[in-house]
Amino acid sequence: MKIFIIGGGGREHAIAWRVSKDSCAPDIYCAPGNAGTATIATNLAIAADDLVQLREWALCNKPDLTIVGPEVPLCLGITDLLEAEGLRVFGPCCAAARLEGSKAFSKEIMLAAGVPTAKSLLFNDPGRAIAALDSFGLPVVIKADGLAAGKGVIIAATKAEAVEAIQAILVDSIFGEAGAEILIEEFLVGEEASILALVDGEHAVILPSSQDHKRVYNNDEGPNTGGMGAYTPAPVVTDALLPLIKTQIIMPVVCEMKKRGCPYKGVLYAGLMISADGIKVLEFNTRFGDPETEAILPRIAGDIIPALEACVDGTLRDDHIIVRDNAAVTVVMASGGYPGRYSKGLRITGIEDADALDECVVFHAGTRVEGGAVVTDGGRVLSVTASGEDLKQAVERAYQAVSKISFEGAHYRTDIAARAFNR
């Protein structure tokens, strides 16, 4: 079996690693991949957003299944492009990917489907946006409508910060076209959690709950990043909440998308805020989360490819996914200076020593091979993952693995999963 994975980050390495363990022993190709995927797959020198080259390779090589990792090619329509050629793709069509590509569209779907979410208003005029601030209170959330690489959300603690954010996005265009419109949104209080569901257009299977760590520093301080770590399960998502999340959030959206003629197939990611007042949706993503994927996939037992194919075919069943009764933790090792400016090309040592530890695996995110050595090539460099009988054991193993790895300026949080222990 031939599997084509689009993307080159930690998420894509985790996907490649997981499908490589299936009993069919697939041949795996990654575009562009990284130094980690190179050890289990064939890397292709094709950018994840180069739809012309991706289509050309797929037409020539006829993969049995294409798995799309990042949001950009999904929103550009890679699924539609390949399906038009008779190829099977795990990932939503362009119309369905708007759930992530446009926060305004996502809000529209949630309101139509009766999904609980924060109050928000859409603006393209900075003056009107600033005038509306007083109706939201503080803190307030300012969001770029389009894709901004996970960095398009600004939480303003004061009105001055909110005004500055509005001007930066709408006037100074810090997010380019992604910031042509903004949402001003009420700030929700509670504890965040991530729920990923496999969807086949009509049915959904919920994957293990997880919690991401967005801020760059311990105690959730500093600027937002693409994610500094994750753990699963997330205790805030109780057994009693899981069926409610499926019936009140996931399935209403699946039904609304089908009703609009763009059935959702692939992974639907719900970012949730959970409080004593209930559950509200912060955002939807239309692909596997990163770094949640690196923590979740090691907990999936058995073969996973049949579940992904069932999403494509519309034949998904609950028994397609078997979850191990354990816990997993991912610690992201980032470049010094991330999410701001950082250096590349720094040599990394100790990856093999970390990988050799019990129940540990190092997923590459921003790496490449240079002169026979693995070097840094991005802001988030490695996703160090460990599994354990419980979260305590998983955390201990993850940080033991992290201690084996070094590169100049390496930065990581030392409090991943602390919220679970503090509950």
pTM reported for the whole predicted model: 0.96
pLDDT digits (tens, 9 = 90+) for 181-239: 999 999 999 999 999 999 999 999 999 999 999 999 999 999 889 999 999 999 999 99
Q: What single-letter amino acid sits at 317?
A: R
Instruction: Give just the sign of the alpha carbon dihedral 222, 381, 74, 167.
Output: positive
Torsions phi, psi for 45 (to 5 deg)? -80, 60
- Rounded to whole angstroms, the Cα distance separating 355 from 347 reads 17
Q: What single-letter amino acid sits at 382?
A: L
Residues of the chain with pLDDT under 70: none
Q: What contacts 32, CB < 8 A, 6 or more positions away?
A: 8, 43, 44, 45, 46, 47, 48
- Rounded to whole angstroms, the Cα distance separating 302 from 167 reads 51
Q: What contacts 342, CB < 8 A, 6 or more positions away?
A: 334, 335, 336, 379, 409
Q: Does a cis peptide bond (omega within 30 degrees of 0) precede residue 139? A: yes
Whole-number pLDDT of residue 423: 80
Whole-number pLDDT of residue 223: 86
- Rounded to whole angstroms, the Cα distance separating 70 from 284 reads 14
- Rounded to whole angstroms, the Cα distance separating 146 from 346 reads 32
Whole-number pLDDT of residue 151: 76
Domains of the chain: 2-93 (3.40.50.20), 125-180 (3.30.1490), 191-422 (3.30.470.20)
> Mapped to the 3 state alphabet, what secondary structure does the chain carry?
CEEEEEECCHHHHHHHHHHHCCCCCCEEEEEECCCCHHHCCEECCCCCCCHHHHHHHHHHHCCCEEEECCHHHHHHCHHHHHHCCCCCEECCCHHHHHHHHCHHHHHHHHHHHCCCECCEEEECCHHHHHHHHHHCCCCEEEEECCCCCCCCEEEECCHHHHHHHHHHHHCCCCCHHHHCCEEEEECCCCEEEEEEEEEECCCEEECCCEEECCEEEHHHEEEECCCCEEEECCCCCCCCHHHHHHHHHHHHHHHHHHHCCCCCEEEEEEEEEEECCEEEEEEEECCCCCCHHHHHHHHEECCCHHHHHHHHHCCCCHHHCEECCCEEEEEEEECCCCCCCCCCCCECECHHHHHCCCCEEEEECCEEEECCEEEECCCEEEEEEEEECCHHHHHHHHHHHHCCCECCCCECCCCCCHHHHHC
